[in-house]
Amino acid sequence: MLMARIGIAVSNTPGKVNEATADTTILLMLSAMRRITEPLMAVRKGQWKGDTEIGRDPENKILGIVGIGGIGKAVARRAQAFGMRVQYSNRRQAPISVDGVESAKHVSLDELLRTSDVVSLHLPLDDASIHLISKSQFETMKEGVIIVNTARGKVIDEAALVEALRSGKVFAAGLDVFESEPAIHPALLESHKTVLLPHIATATKETREAMELLVLENLREGIVNNRLVTQVNSGEA
């Protein structure tokens, strides 16, 4: 990391974003399962239901969580309340305890993609995760799978997602992040199979205040004690 090499310590705000991002994930998941974009647009245009299609229920569906950090665990807890069966994959091979979630199952990424009814992405962006979900991954998924991404846009190959939506392989997608944001693939904008938000998962009063307070705490500790509370590199404060 460049900042570490030149002796600058870097901090972030881990944990403070978990609950709001998990809430947004569930919002997008349920909205995608009900293909909510078409009826929302139809009502505003005075067309009542428009071409609203029959949706999907979450109960007894398999939710596959890719990346079971703080946000992924918070999503798992929420999904259980809707009667979903939770499985997850993670970079660490050993299973991770998901507190408050009964019978969360640790599986490989391949098995998760092959068997999940809903795939929700919660992993950081790095060289290994760019286009982690692309054409070959979509091909292994169930027919009518639902995709949710509140992680980073480049984790999904958007062109491959568009193709999968058009073919029906993907029933619907709920996205808060995009490959080249603020630009969004035109086909995603045009599709009634997508639920799109402008990267606002953490945009709540309570979450932003908590993030700000942690930033101030890091600044204070850096100035007073030459350390950071949530340091992410090996630079010196």
Question: Is the preceding omega at residue 58 within 30 degrees of 0, hence cis?
Answer: no
First CA to last CA distance, the chain? 15
Active-site option among 78, 152, 185, 192: 152
d(CA 116, CA 142): 7
Catalytic residue of the set 77, 114, 131, 199: 199
Instruction: Answer yes or no: 199 catalytic.
Output: yes
122 classed as catalytic: no
- Count of beta carbons in the 10 Å neighbourhood of residue 219: 13
Active-site position among 53, 111, 163, 181:
181
- Is-catalytic flag, 92? no
Under a CB-based contact definition with an 8 Å cutoff, are residues 146 and 172 in contact?
Answer: yes
Segment (H or E) for 86: strand 85-89
Q: Six-digit token pair at 236?
A: 């010196």
Q: How many CA atoms lie within 13 A of 192 on its CB side?
A: 15
Distance CA 69, CA 92 (A): 11
As annotated, the active-site residues are: 152, 181, 199
